[in-house]
Chains A and B, each alone.
Chain A
Amino acid sequence: MESVAEALMEALALVALTAPMCLLACLGLMGLIGRPPTEQITGRLVTAGFLTSTFAALGLIPALVLSGARQAQVELGTWYAFEGHALHLTLQVDRLSVPFVVLTALLLGVVGSFSHRYLHREPSYGRFFLLLALLGSGTMLVVLAGTADMAFAGWEMVGVSSALLVGFFYERPAPVRNALWVFVIYRLCDVGLFAGIVLLHHTVGSDSFHLLGAGRSWPNGVSTAPIGQATAISILFALAAMGKSALVPFSGWLPRAMEGPTPSSAIFYGALSVHLGPYLLLRAAPLLDRAPAAAALLVVVGALTALHATLVGRVQTDIKCALAYASLTQVGVIFVEIGLGFRLLPLAHCVGHACLRSLQILRAPSMLSDVHEVEAAVGGILPRSGIVLGQLLPTAAQRWMYRWALERCYLDALLDRCAIGPFREMAAAADRFERRWTDRLGGTEVSAAGPDPQPISGAKP
Chain B
Amino acid sequence: MNDSQAASRLQSALEHAAHLLPAQGPISVFVHHNTLHAFERMPFDTAVVEAAELYGTSPFLPEARYRQELARGRILRRDLLAVLDADLGPEAACQPVAGVPRRELRMAVLVNGLDAPRGRELGWLLEETDALRRPLEGLDAESLEKLLDSTRRWFLAELAGRGPEAMATLLTGEVDPGRAARALALELGIGPRRGDLEQLIALQAGHVAARTLWHASVRACGRVPYSRSVHEARSPRPRDLLHAATGQDPDELVDPLMIRLAASFLDQGLSYWPMPDREQGFWRGALGHLSQPAGSPESWQQSLPGEARRLLESGVDAVGSAIESLELLGVEAAEWSDFTARTLLPLRGWAGMFHQLEERPDRVPAHAPPARLADFLAVRLLLDRLAAEHVSRAELGDGYSAARLLAILEGRQSRGPTREERAFALFQVAQLVGLAAGDIDSMERPELVSLLDEIEWFDELERRRHFHLAYERRYREGVLEALAARAAASRANKGSEKRLQVICCLDEREESLRRHLEEAEPECETFGTAGFFGVAMYYRGILDAFARPLCPIVIRPGHLVTEQLDETLEDEHRRKTLVRRVLGRLRSALAVSSRTLARGTLLTAALGTLAALPLVLRVLFPRLAAWLRKRGQLLTRTRGRTRLAVDASETPAPLPGTRAGFSVAEQADIVGRLLEELGIAGRLRAPGPGPARVARLVLVLGHGSSSLNNPHQAAYDCGACGGGRGGANARAFAQMANDPRVRELLASRGLSLPADTRFVGAQHDTCEDAIYYYDLDGIGEEHAAELRLARHAMSRALAANAHERCRRFESAPLWLEREDALAHVEARAQDLAQPRPELGHATNATLVVGRRELTRGLFLDRRAFLASYDPHHDADGAVLSRILHAILPVCAGINLEYYFSRVDPTGFGCGTKLPHNIVSMLGVMDGHASDLRAGLPWQMVEIHEPMRLLTVVESPKERILGLMGPRDPLRRLVANRWIQLVALDPDTGRMHLFGETGFEPFEPPAIRLARVSHSFDWYRMRRDSLSCALVERRENEEAGATWSR
Contacts and interface: CB of A to CB of B under 8 A. Distances in A.
User: A–B direct touch, CB within 8 Å, in complex?
Assistant: yes
Contacts of B713: 368-369
A317 B270 contact: yes
Contacts of A85: none
Interface centre among A258, A352, A416 (most CB of B within 10 A): A352
A262 B914 contact: yes
Interface stretch (A146-154, A203-211, A238-246, A318-326): A318-326
A117 B595 contact: no
A174 B711 contact: no
B594 A406 contact: no
B260 interface: yes
B289 interface: yes
Interface of B: 27-28, 54-57, 239, 243-244, 246-247, 249, 251, 260-261, 263-264, 267, 269-277, 288-290, 292-299, 342, 345-346, 366, 412, 414, 543-546, 577, 580-581, 583-585, 587-589, 591-592, 594-597, 600-601, 603-612, 614-616, 618-620, 636, 708-711, 713, 810-811, 831-836, 906, 912-921, 925-930, 942
A329 B299 contact: no
Contacts of B57: 461
A454 B268 CA distance: 43
Given A315-B271, A368-B27, A407-B296, A258 B927 contact: yes
Contact of B609 (A351, A381, A453): A351
A174 B609 contact: no
B592 A120 contact: no
A106 B366 CA distance: 39
B838 to A, nearest CB: 14
Contacts of A45: none
B605 A352 contact: yes
Interface in A373-388: 373-382, 384-386, 388
B296 A413 contact: yes
B247 A453 contact: yes
Contacts of A259: 915, 926-928
Given A106-B616, A117-B811, A384-B272, A329 B596 contact: yes
A386 B293 CA distance: 27
A174 B256 CA distance: 11
A320 B928 contact: yes
Contact of B611 (A115, A256, A319, A359): A359
Given A315-B264, A399-B276, A413 B298 contact: yes
A29 interface: no
Interface string A348-368: 110111111111101111111
Nearest to A257: B928
Given A315-B271, A378-B584, A364 B832 contact: no
A318 B918 contact: yes
A310 B584 CA distance: 24
Interface in A140-177: 168-169, 171-172, 174-175
Contacts of B414: 457
Contact of A355 (B597, B608, B620, B709): B608
B827 to A, nearest CB: 10
B915 A169 contact: yes
A378 B589 CA distance: 12
A256 B928 contact: yes
Contacts of B276: 395, 398-399, 402
A348 to B, nearest CB: 6
Contacts of A120: 810-811, 835-836
A403 B292 contact: yes
A313 B616 CA distance: 27
Interface centre among A318, A323, A345, A353 (most CB of B within 10 A): A318
17 contacts: A122-B914, A169-B927, A310-B596, A318-B263, A325-B595, A353-B608, A355-B609, A360-B594, A364-B917, A367-B918, A372-B28, A377-B580, A378-B584, A384-B273, A460-B249, A461-B54, A461-B342
A256 B256 CA distance: 11
A375 B295 CA distance: 38
Nearest to B274: A384
A320 to B, nearest CB: 4
A319 B270 contact: yes
A34 interface: no
Contacts of B916: 262, 365
A2 B236 CA distance: 78
B606 to A, nearest CB: 7
Contacts of B906: 171
A110 interface: yes
Contacts of B833: 113-118, 263, 362
In the A-B complex, the 3 residue pairs with the smallest Cβ-Cβ separation, listed nearest first, are: A352-B608, A377-B584, A461-B56
B545 A352 contact: no
A119 B913 CA distance: 9
Contacts of B594: 326, 356-357, 360
Nearest to B594: A356
A229 interface: no
B605 A314 contact: no
B289 A406 contact: yes
A414 interface: yes
Interface in A263-308: 263, 306-307
Nearest to A258: B928
Contacts of A406: 260-261, 264, 289
Contacts of B247: 453, 455
A363 B710 CA distance: 10
- Give the dominant DSSP class at A's interface: helix
Contacts of B605: 345, 348-349, 352-353
B270 A322 contact: yes
Nearest to B412: A452
A18 interface: no
Given A118-B914, A259-B915, A356 B927 contact: no
A390 interface: yes
A371 interface: yes
B266 to A, nearest CB: 8
Given A117-B834, A348-B605, A455-B244, A321 B545 contact: no
A71 to B, nearest CB: 22
Interface string A322-357: 110110011001000000000001001101111111
A374 B917 contact: no
B926 A318 contact: no
A322 B595 contact: yes
A389 B594 CA distance: 16
Contacts of B27: 368
A315 B583 contact: no
Interface string A399-423: 1101101110010011011000000
Contacts of A330: 600-601, 604
A318 B609 contact: no
Contacts of B295: 403
Given A356-B611, A406-B264, A174 B919 contact: no
B595 A378 contact: no
B615 A359 contact: yes
Contacts of B926: 169, 172, 174, 259
B254 to A, nearest CB: 12
A389 B346 CA distance: 35
A59 interface: no
A90 interface: no
A381 B28 CA distance: 14
B917 A258 contact: yes
A75 B941 CA distance: 54
B244 A356 contact: no
A261 interface: yes
Contacts of B618: 359
A373 B601 CA distance: 26
Nearest to A114: B833
B273 A388 contact: yes
B600 A352 contact: no
Contacts of A262: 914-916
Nearest to B612: A355
A326 B906 CA distance: 31
Contact of A322 (B271, B346, B600, B601): B271
